[in-house]
Amino acid sequence: MRSRSIAAGLLGLAVAAVLAAPAGAAKNPKIAAEVPKSVASKGTLVVASDATYAPMELVATNGKTVIGVDADLAKAIGDVLGLKLQVKNATFDGIIPGLQAGKYDLGMSAFTDTLARQKVVDFVTYFSAGTSFYTKASGGTAVKGLASICGLTVSVENGTTEQTDATAQSAKCTKAGKPAVKVSAFPDQNAANLAIASGKAQVGMADSPVAAYIVKQSKGQFKLTGTPYGTAPYGIAIPKGNGMAKPVLDAVKLLMKNGTYKSILAKWGVQGGAISNPKINGATS
């Protein structure tokens, strides 16, 4: 999101930019021809990504390059479309407004495809993930699931489905006569992680592949707790009705067919989230 933050250093979330990337895909003239001329004429499309959500997106050790699952997939999609895709670091809750304003051409940042978000952007689904809980390994607070966070301070990234879920659960808690959830929302995932590490929050909530990566890279500082919930599709966010949904969908389908997609997921260790039936606006809730 910027150069490596204190929290990123603490958790070791930066990965060397020299990681071998899967072989690129060739331009597919048929799919490239589906791109609207107004978009194709740009030559380079700007892809927004909040690079604090490893391994989906993070900043490399050079302090500026955005790498990760989404960055690799963006490049591969660009190859198929015959376009250069430039991945720019952006605050998560500013990406959709940026798409609406024409600042960005695509949003690839572990977005959960939801019906609410579909009102303002289109999505092409490409991955499946749930939500997991994590806490300090020593003296952390154990939870069983979403219903057991009543009375706890929960750390989340601003604008995420985790923030929405924790806030909704707080209302359920108070309605049942239980203590409310204190939802601490932070501008990026690094800050949310630091709140757990410093004891300002008791439990963190993040997408399952991200939470697993945070724990893995924490060198024993964090552990997963409870049972993941709410499996849902990730989607590539696209300005509503601008004609790019079909070419992006067809590019993703081709990458799945030729093995590039699976190679990218394997590189980052998230093969468990692979899907085989990408859709335009595939959310059900």
pLDDT tens-digit series, residues 23-75: 567 999 999 999 999 999 999 999 999 999 999 999 999 999 999 999 999 99
The correct CATH number of 130-231 out of 3.40.190.10, 3.60.40.10, 1.20.120.450, 1.10.3470.10 is: 3.40.190.10
Question: Cβ neighbours of residue 34 under 8 Å, at least 6 residues apart?
Answer: 246, 247, 250
Mean pLDDT is lowest, of 62-66, 80-84, 194-198, 268-272, for 268-272
**Fold identical between 6-129+232-273 and 130-231?**
yes
Domain range annotation of the chain: 6-129+232-273, 130-231
Using one digit for the tens of pLDDT, what is the confidence trace for 111-158?
999 999 999 999 999 999 999 999 999 999 999 999 999 999 999 999
Number of helices followed by number of strands (H, E) in the chain: 11, 11
CA dihedral 151, 154, 159, 160 (to 10 degrees): -100
**Whole-number pLDDT of residue 212:** 92
CATH class assigned to 6-129+232-273 = alpha beta
